[in-house]
Chain A
Amino acid sequence: MKIQTREERGCRVVVLVGSADVNASRMLREALLGAIEAGATRIVCDLASTDFICSDALGVLITAYLKARGRGGFLRLADPQNHLREVLETTRLDHLFEVFPDVQGALVRT
């Protein structure tokens, strides 16, 4: 998996490209928790190009979500494709995360 980040409208947009599998989880953890530790607590994860996600990576997203919220920020998910959307629904994590159809929508609601 590759992780690309950018700043947009006061948010850190984290783009996950490829498979968020167990071996990518460490990289994801460093990217998200590192950003929060550095003060970037408004995070949008762009999942448009994420073709796979495992429970380990979901756990990283949950940990980052809780840390961001604990610091007054947020972690939102944007544009999950069919398989990822189904995983979010199956785990009922769509009830925990705010899930937006696209990044712009996630950025607008700030």
Chain B
Amino acid sequence: MPANAPESDNGMAWIEKQLPTRLETIREAEMEVVNRLESLGYNEDICFAVRLAFEEAIVNAMKHGNRMDPDRHVLLAYRASPERVEIRVRDEGDGFDPCGIPDPTADENLRKPCGRGIMLMRSYMDEVSYSSSGTEVLMVKYRHP
């Protein structure tokens, strides 16, 4: 169970997974979430947005949190209703300060190949918040924001 997460909310039970730190494991988990949203009737735009934010969060957790250490894991929890989907991603790293990330859309940063993940998560989800430790992110997307 994610830290401070209620066991359920309006019947929405958390579905939890523990992923090894291997990029190859992302696709299956990603498509499980997308398939769930499709079954609930979410449109293509929302499914794309959630898929993108999900991938960015998991990749960040594996690369920057767990530093691709195969002995560490990424803890994933999600729950979806017809109204909203919530996703929590937690790594086993040292945490980071999300406010310390340079703006990748600034002219001087456009040529940098990295640093767009968090911006994309914030742009494509309705809510993105980090735990104080900087090791867990909660993202929410509403069907009708």
Binding site for B on A (CB under 8 A): 21-23, 52, 54-56, 58-60, 62-63, 66, 83, 87, 90-93, 95-96
Q: Which residues of B contact A90 (CB under 8 A)?
A: 119-120, 123-124
Please classify the interface of chain A as helix (H, G, I), strand (E, B), loop, or mixed, using the class held by over half of its residues: helix
Q: Which residues of B contact A59 (CB under 8 A)?
A: 113-114, 116
Q: Which residues of A contact B117 (CB under 8 A)?
A: 55
Contact call B27/A62, Cβ cutoff below 8 A? no
Please classify the interface of chain B as helix (H, G, I), strand (E, B), loop, or mixed, using the class held by over half of its residues: helix
Which residue of chain A has the shortest Cβ distance to B118 in the bound complex?
Answer: A55
Known: A23-B23, A83-B48, A96-B111. A91 touches B55 (CB 8 A): no
**Which residues 96-145 of B sit at the A interface, judged by CB distance below 8 A?**
104-105, 107, 110-114, 116-117, 119-120, 123-124
Which residue of chain A has the shortest Cβ distance to B25 in the bound complex?
Answer: A23
Q: Report the bound CA distance from A89 to B52 in whole Å.
A: 15
Binary interface profile of B, 3-35, with partner A (CB < 8 Å = 1, else 0)? 000000000000000000001101100100000
Known: A22-B26, A59-B113, A93-B110. A54 touches B104 (CB 8 A): no
CB proximity of B7 to chain A, nearest CB, Å: 32
Binding site for A on B (CB under 8 A): 23-24, 26-27, 30, 44-45, 48, 51-52, 55-56, 59, 104-105, 107, 110-114, 116-117, 119-120, 123-124
Q: Report the bound CA distance from A87 to B119 in whole Å.
A: 11
Q: Report the bound CA distance from A79 to B36 in whole Å.
A: 30
Which A-B residue pairs are the 9 nearest by beta carbons? A59-B113, A55-B116, A92-B105, A62-B113, A96-B110, A55-B117, A83-B48, A90-B123, A63-B113
CB proximity of B63 to chain A, nearest CB, Å: 9
CB proximity of A28 to chain B, nearest CB, Å: 12
